[in-house]
Amino acid sequence: MSIEELEEQVDKLLEERDELEEVCDTLPQCAEDNGCETCNTYKKIAEIDDKIEELEEKIESLMGEEEEE
Ligand SMILES: [Zn+2]
């Protein structure tokens, strides 16, 4: 997979994340202290964060390879 494709995926995930955060903000449960610890929306956001981190690592290693050539 190319760097551009990976960056596109990161952008899509960030968009998804924004939408989920908006949902999270409107949940009464999430207005309470630590309410997000048990909310499903927040769980999905955390999963997306993990995926973004993985993709960024891949992008970094690909960029490193390009510099070596
Ligand atoms: Zn929440």
pLDDT tens digit sequence for 18-53 = 999 999 989 998 999 889 988 999 999 999 999 999
Lowest-confidence region among 4-8, 15-19, 29-33, 55-59 = 29-33
For the chain, give every domain's residue range: 3-68
- Helices 40-68, 3-26: axis angle to 10 degrees equals 160
* Model confidence band, residue 69 (pLDDT cutoffs 50, 70, 90): low
Residues around the ion ligand 1 (C-beta < 5 A)? 24, 30, 36, 39, 42
What spacing in Å lies between the alpha carbon of 15 and ligand 1's midpoint? 17
- Per-position b or e across 26-44, b if 16+ CB within 10 A of its CB: eeeebeeeeebeebebbee
Half-sphere exposure of 15 (CA within 13 A, CB side): 6
pLDDT computed for residue 47 by the predictor: 97
What spacing in Å lies between the alpha carbon of 54 and ligand 1's midpoint? 23
